[in-house]
Amino acid sequence: MDKRFFRDTWVEVQLDYLYDNIRSIQSLTSHHKEIIAVVKANGYGHGAVKIARTALEAGAKGLAVAFVDEALYLRQAGIKDSILVLGVSRPEDVRMAVENDLTLTVFQEEWIREAAKYVTSNEKVKIHLKCDTGMGRIGVNTVETLQSLEQLTSEYACFIIEGIYTHFATADERDSLLFQQQLDRFQEMVKSLKQRPTYVHCANSAATLRMNIEECNAVRAGIAIYGLSPSASMKAILPIPLKEVFSLHTKIVHVKKLKCGQSISYGATYTTEDEEWIATLPIGYGDGWIRKLQGQEVLVNGQRTPIIGRICMDQCMIKLPYYMPPGEKVTLIGAQGDGFISIDEIAEKLETINYEVTCSISNRVPRVYMKNGEIVEVVNQLLSHI
Ligand SMILES: *Cc1c(COP(=O)(O)O)cnc(C)c1O
C-alpha cells in the first residue's frame, strides 16, 4: 500500500458499493427520473470529489451541495457536471455562480432584484425555485408569492428557471400526515406556474425509497447512496438492498498486561478487575470519535471488545480478550471477520442519526477509496499540499 498517511487510523470508502446503491436507486425510480446525488458536507463525510465522480459514473445526472464554496471545491477538482446549491447564496455571489456554471436556489424577490445588478444581460444564471411546503426552513410558502416570484424573474433575461423543488420534513416516518400534505401543497404550487420548469423534484432518499412521485422527473438522493437507511423505522421496509459505503479502522499501537486494580485514562473511570490485557488505539475525539463512545464495542480478530476509560483527544484504550500484538487491525465501524458494527449502532449509542456519524469523523482521518477490494486512491487532507 502506498504510504500516504503515517498514523494507522483510516476510513475506508467502498466506491463499488456506492455505485451499486445508485444503480439500485435508479432501477427503483424507473429510468426517466434523474438522480441528483447529494454530496454536501464533503459527501456526508466520505469525501465529496470521489463520491461525486463515482455517482456520475453510476448514472447520476447532477450533484447537489449546501453552499457555493462546496460547489467550487468540486469545480476545482475538475468536475464539469451540473451542481445545484441547495442553501441560500448571497446575491453578489451570483458572479461566482455564472463564472462556474452553478445552479442556485432562489425564493426571495429581493434576491432577484439584487442579484440582477451583478449580471450582464447576455449572461445566464440557472436557478431552481424553492417552495416551503411545511419544512419551515427556506422557500416561498404561498402560491401567490410563487407566482409573483415567477413573474418578476421573467422580467430579467439573465435568469433561467430551470427547476422547482421542495423538501420533506417527515418522509422518513411511516404514516406521516404532513408528508402527504407537503406533497399536495407542492403539486398545487407547481401547477400554479405559468411555465413548468425542466426539473420538478421533491424526493429526498426517504421519499425516493417509499414511492414514485409521478409529477417529478428528478430525485435528490443523499443518505441512501451511502448505503444507509433514512431512519430506523424505514430499515424494515427498504425496497432495495443498501450497502454501507463507510467503515472506520485503526491498529493497536501498544499492548500491556495490567494487574488487578489499576486505573485507565483521565478521571480514572475504569479500574481493572483482574489481570487484564489493555491495548491503546490511535484514535480519539479529535478524530470525531467522541467521548460519549466510552463503553462502545470495537472488533478485533472478528470479536467484540469494549472501549474502556475516557476517550482522549488522540487515543483511547480497549480491553483485549487475550494478548494481541501491536499492529493488529481494529474495526470501529464496519465488518471484520464474522463481526459487523453498523453506523446505525454507533448512531444509537450516540442518540443521534446515522447522517451525523459519518459527517463527524473529521478530515484528520485519511479516506482510503476501495473498488472491488483494491485501493484506488488515498486522500489525506493533512498532506494534500505535499
Ligand atoms: C440534504 C438534502 C437532501 C438529501 O437528503 P437525504 O435524506 O440524505 O436523502 C435533499 N434535499 C435537500 C434540500 C437537502 O438539504
Q: Select from 111, 61, 98, 109 the least CA-distant residue to 81.
A: 61
pTM summary value: 0.97
**Residue 1 banded pLDDT, cuts 50, 70, 90:** very low
- Tell me, yes or no, if 259 is annotated catalytic: no
The answer to whether the CB of 221 is under 6 A from ligand 1 is yes
Q: Kindly state if the Cβ of 129 falls inside 6 Å of ligand 1.
A: no
| Cell numbers describing residue 364 | 484528520
pLDDT in tens, 351-373: 999 999 999 999 999 999 999 99
Cα dist. 235→19, 46, 228, 258, 351 in Å?
20, 21, 9, 42, 17
Q: What pLDDT is attached to residue 79?
A: 98
Coil vs helix vs strand at 32: coil
Residue 62: beta bridge partners? 36, 82
- State which ligand 1 atom lies nearest to the alpha carbon of 225: 9
pLDDT tens digit sequence for 192-208: 999 999 999 999 999 99
User: In angstroms, what is the span from residue 121 Cα to ligand 1's centroid?
Assistant: 33
**In this structure, which long-range contacts are made by residues 150-156, counting pairs with CB atoms below 8 Å and at least 24 apart in sequence?**
150/193, 150/194, 150/195, 151/194, 152/109, 152/112, 152/113, 153/106, 153/112, 153/127, 153/129, 154/194, 156/112, 156/116
Cα dihedral value 279, 280, 282, 285, nearest 10? 110
Distance 204 CA to ligand 1 centre (A): 5
Q: Let me know: does 368 contact 334? Beta carbons within 8 Å.
A: no
Residues in CB range of 380: below 8 A, 6 or more apart: 4, 5, 366, 367
pLDDT at 3 over 80: no
For residue 320, the cross-strand partners are 277
> Does the beta carbon of 105 sit less than 6 angstroms from any atom of ligand 1?
no
- Residue closest to 201 by CA, chosen among 86, 101, 54, 302: 86
Atom index in ligand 1 nearest the CA of residue 40 equals 1
Distance (Å, rounded) from C-alpha 312 to C-alpha 297?
16
Summarised one tens digit per residue, pLDDT across range 284-330 is 999 999 999 999 999 999 999 999 999 999 999 999 999 999 999 99
Establish whether residue 216 lines the binding site of ligand 1, counting it when its CB lies within 6 angstroms of any ligand atom: no
Q: How remote is the CA of residue 331 from the centroid of ligand 1, in Å? A: 29
Q: Is 189 one of the annotated binding-site residues? A: no
Region 138-158: mean pLDDT is 97
Give 36 Cα–ligand 1 centroid separation in angstroms: 10
**Pick from 77, 56, 69: which is nearest to 102 by CA?**
69
Q: Structural domains in the chain?
A: 32-226 (3.20.20.10), 246-383 (2.40.37.10)
Q: Is residue 218 lining ligand 1, measured as CB closer than 6 Å? A: no
Active site residue 40: yes
Q: Identify the active-site residue in 17, 19, 33, 40.
A: 40
Which residue out of 191, 235, 266, 292 is catalytically annotated?
266
Query: Is pLDDT at 135 greater than 50 in this prediction?
Result: yes
Q: Say whether 313 counts as a known binding-site residue.
A: yes
